[in-house]
Amino acid sequence: MTQYSKRMVIVHWLTLALLIAAWYFGDSLAEATDESKATLAGYIVHIAVGGTVLLLTLAQLFFRRKDGTPPLLYDKPIYQVVAKNVHYLLYTLLFLLPVSGITIILNSKVGAALLAGDANLLPKEHGFKDVFSHEVHEQLVNVLIVLAVVHILGAIKHQFIMKDGLMSRMSLRKKD
């Protein structure tokens, strides 16, 4: 096997697109909450995107197990360990972020506001100050960003320094 399966490739890039959307909507939501202008629709969209990321992560783990993965291209064992652990941590974060988001809903006024359909019940400025799961969620986002940068730098290293064609493995085009 030299490439990931087509469904793995599609789920990988779709997850990336949805993560960017979730981050954007979450950041906009945080700003709106601080200005006491958050809407139910804003929360619903962020929750839907985050829930989809969780489903895609579970699908990707299933596809990895069912379809297999190409072998690592590193010649040094330490690089293999780093690459594997970065992937494991990324999957862990992609699971924990939506779970922590669900926990926020359960431990804050957001859940009550959504159930009642009343935006007036949504948290206002500093409304998450005593919600530990919100702090966890924010820190997980920061860790995800750092790991994503490491992941991208690794791909860039392979593509432009090692020139070993690693990035073509995550492409829908068949490798020659």
pLDDT in tens, 20-37: 999 999 999 999 999 999
Residue 76, classified by CB atoms within 10 Å of its CB into exposed (0-12), middle (13-18) or buried (19+), is: exposed
Residue 1 confidence class, pLDDT cut points 50, 70, 90: low
| Token pair 């820190």: residue | 139
Answer whether residue 137 is part of any domain: yes
Answer whether residue 1 is part of any domain: no
Asked if 60 and 103 touch (Cβ cutoff 8 Å), the reply is no
Q: What is the pTM of this model?
A: 0.91
Answer whether residue 76 is part of any domain: yes
134 is written with which tokens? 């919100």
Does the pLDDT at position 176 exceed 60? no
Answer whether residue 42 is part of any domain: yes
* Cβ atoms < 10 Å from Cβ of 98: 22
Answer whether residue 176 is part of any domain: no
Answer whether residue 162 is part of any domain: yes
Axis crossing angle, helix 109-116 with helix 40-67, rounded to the nearest 10: 110
Answer whether residue 175 is part of any domain: no
Q: How many domains does the chain have?
A: 1
* Helix residue ranges, H only, the chain: 6-34, 40-67, 77-107, 109-116, 132-156
Asked if 36 and 99 touch (Cβ cutoff 8 Å), the reply is no
Residue with more model confidence, 175 or 14: 14
Asked if 6 and 164 touch (Cβ cutoff 8 Å), the reply is no
Type and span of the H or E element at 119: none
- Residue 103 belongs to what domain range? 6-170
